[in-house]
Structure 1
Amino acid sequence: MRHAFVASNFIAIVSGVIGVFVVARQLSFLTHTLSEIGFAGASFAVFAGWAPLDGMILFTMLSSVLVGQMSIKESRREAVISAVSGLFIGLGILFLSLSSQTASSATSILFGSVVGISASEVHQLIILSAVVLAITVLIYRQLKFSSFDEVGAQVSGFNQTVISVVFLLLLALSVSVAAQIVGSLLIFILLTIPAASAKYFTHGVAKMMGLAILFSLLGTWAGLLLGYLTNWPVSFFIAVIEVIIYVIALLYQNFIEAN
């Protein structure tokens, strides 16, 4: 449980920070697609005898830029998502069927296994989180302009293509990190819902990040505690708590608009 809480802290921080830009850039669809790609990567790692996180990083990093560029045009976005998702889900199932591991491996990949996370996995997760946050800080100004003020970004002379590629790679790493607690099936919960909830309470980018991190921490901490007390899946409680927060955010927004 100590390892789980340490891991959840870093996962929540990364999800809150990156999630704000995911929502601003309207890339929730890509987060969902990367979850299927991550599932295939983790399954391949199980088949190859690697750590599942290594496989997720490999697959998501290699495919994030390609899929992101392929789905820029909204007219072909649905087709790209369907094709890529179907392909990688099929590959994931194939790798699991060829491996000698039990069905528990598939369950861990799909729904997470944060309570069973080891010290070495926590260290790896912390390093990845630090990398994501450090790069985000370095390109924060350019990324903020590119995500929230495209006109300002163009006037400032930022190379938006480079910023977009770097952000897609950061998103791929974030997906791999977040999967450790909610699994590949529910990655989009932490990477989209807290940030989407935060935008209804505040509008400053830094304030949105802080609130998104708070919502992510609330969901992961409460999810871990309830999972420990009930022996139910942690990811279930995280999903329910984050959705409740989002509903409250919508009600708050409706109340503000009505008054």
Structure 2
Amino acid sequence: MDVSFSWNLIDDIREMWSLPSMVSAFRAGTIVAVLAGLVGWFMVLRKQSFAGHTLAVVGFPGAAAAVWLGLSAGSGYLAFCLLAALVIAALPTQGQAGYSEESAVVGTTQAFALGAGSLFIALYKGFLNGTNALLFGTFLGITSDQVLLLAIIAAVVLIVLAVAGRPLLFASIDRDVARANGVPTRLLGVVFLLLLGATAAAVSQITGSLLVFALLVLPPATAQLITARPARGLVLSVVLALVSVWVALFVSYYSPYPVGFWLTTVAFGLYLVTAAVSVALRRLGRRAVPAAVAVSEAAA
């Protein structure tokens, strides 16, 4: 498909959206951005980024096994991510969020998953030309049925997250105090890991297994640099995820490079800019306080 960028954004968007595959890609991208923005915000707050990365990686052997068995890659993503979430949930709880970031079991699960993915690809006797798509994502070939499945998964995850949101927030901020007040922190931890696994499986449809982590962690981490208020942070996390996905899909349409590369580039760029501005504002604040004191002393 030969397409060219004209610098007329309205015409370019109309041309892009004239293709059903691109419409489906933007619909799917919007769904996963909202999902990753909300679930990822809790993941970063709970300091479970390593667990989230493991769940993302586990999706690769799941998709490869599904293709080997003649099933859809999406079913493999979902089955393996949920199974891995249950494995991580069975670990002994440690620390404020309930799971140790340095857990050897989590790291071992991740390493085994990558090896299993290589095995399933080797066992596949046909021509598997979608390995890069499984690992790094693609917007090509997303069907309306896949969009519908993503919407169903997202609806279930968001409904559960809405119901458990307040106690989950309490348990994420101070697990010991929450447990002392009767909050079922252990059950909430298991439920959240299952939600995180379902989210990782859904986001893999766009980003591929290895780049799920970028969408799950970068927009939420950027949002938490800007504000510590939960409501504002959640909204901002979703907005940043939407911007990252939409820009990545638009640019990748006119580029030979995969959507995953552009998504991580945009999201990482937003994080770097936000971090730099935050550091600059903190330094200006530190300098302003002594100056204000000096002015007040001089006036006295």
Query: Which range, TM-score by smaller chain?
Result: over 0.9
User: Is 2:271 the counterpart of 1:246?
Assistant: yes
User: Is 2:189 the counterpart of 1:164?
Assistant: yes
- Give distance in 2, aligned partners of 1:145 and 1:82: 27
User: Is 2:156 the counterpart of 1:131?
Assistant: yes
The residue type equivalent to 1:15 in the other structure is: A
User: Is 2:115 the counterpart of 1:94?
Assistant: no
User: Is 2:75 the counterpart of 1:54?
Assistant: yes
CA apart distance, 1:96: 1.1
Question: For residues 70-149 of structure 1, what are the structure 2 equivalents within 5 Å?
Answer: 70=91, 72-73=93-94, 77-149=102-174
- Give distance in 2, aligned partners of 1:72 and 1:257: 35
Give the direction of change, closer, same or farther, for the CA distance of 1:222–1:71 in structure 2 (3 Å limit): farther
Aligned pair partner of 2:247 in 204, 222, 232: 222
The residue type equivalent to 1:138 in the other structure is: V
- Give distance in 2, aligned partners of 1:82 and 1:20: 22
CA apart distance, 1:70: 2.8
Give unpaired runs (5+ residues) of structure 2: 1-21, 286-300
Number of residue pairs aligned between Structure 1 and Structure 2: 259
CA apart distance, 1:100: 3.1
Contact 2:48 2:101 in 1 (8 A): no
After superposition, the C-alpha distances for 1:37-60 in whole angstroms (9 at most, x for unaligned) are 111111110111111111111111
After superposition, the C-alpha distances for 1:141-177 in whole angstroms (9 at most, x for unaligned) are 1111111233442243111111000000000000001
CA apart distance, 1:69: 3.8
Aligned equivalent of 2:222: 197
User: Is 2:41 the counterpart of 1:20?
Assistant: yes
% identity of equivalent residues: 32
Given the two structures, how large is their TM-score scaled by the length of structure 2? 0.82
Contact 2:50 2:101 in 1 (8 A): no
CA apart distance, 1:77: 2.7
Aligned equivalent of 1:32: 53
Contact 1:64 1:168 in 2 (8 A): yes
User: Is 2:29 the counterpart of 1:4?
Assistant: no
- Give distance in 1, aligned partners of 2:254 and 2:241: 20
Given the two structures, how large is their TM-score scaled by the length of structure 1? 0.95
- Give distance in 1, aligned partners of 2:108 and 2:246: 36
Give the direction of change, closer, same or farther, for the CA distance of 1:55–1:75 in structure 2 (3 Å limit): closer
- Give distance in 1, aligned partners of 2:253 and 2:49: 30
Aligned pair partner of 2:85 in 54, 61, 64: 64
CA apart distance, 1:179: 0.6
Aligned equivalent of 1:43: 64
CA apart distance, 1:67: 2.0
After superposition, the C-alpha distances for 1:152-206 in whole angstroms (9 at most, x for unaligned) are 4224311111100000000000000111111001110011111000011111111
The residue type equivalent to 2:61 in the other structure is: A
Contact 1:14 1:129 in 2 (8 A): yes
- Give distance in 1, aligned partners of 2:174 and 2:281: 25
- Give distance in 2, aligned partners of 1:9 and 1:76: 30
After superposition, the C-alpha distances for 1:21-50 in whole angstroms (9 at most, x for unaligned) are 100111110111112211111111011111
RMSD of equivalent CA atoms: 1.7
User: Is 2:201 the counterpart of 1:180?
Assistant: no
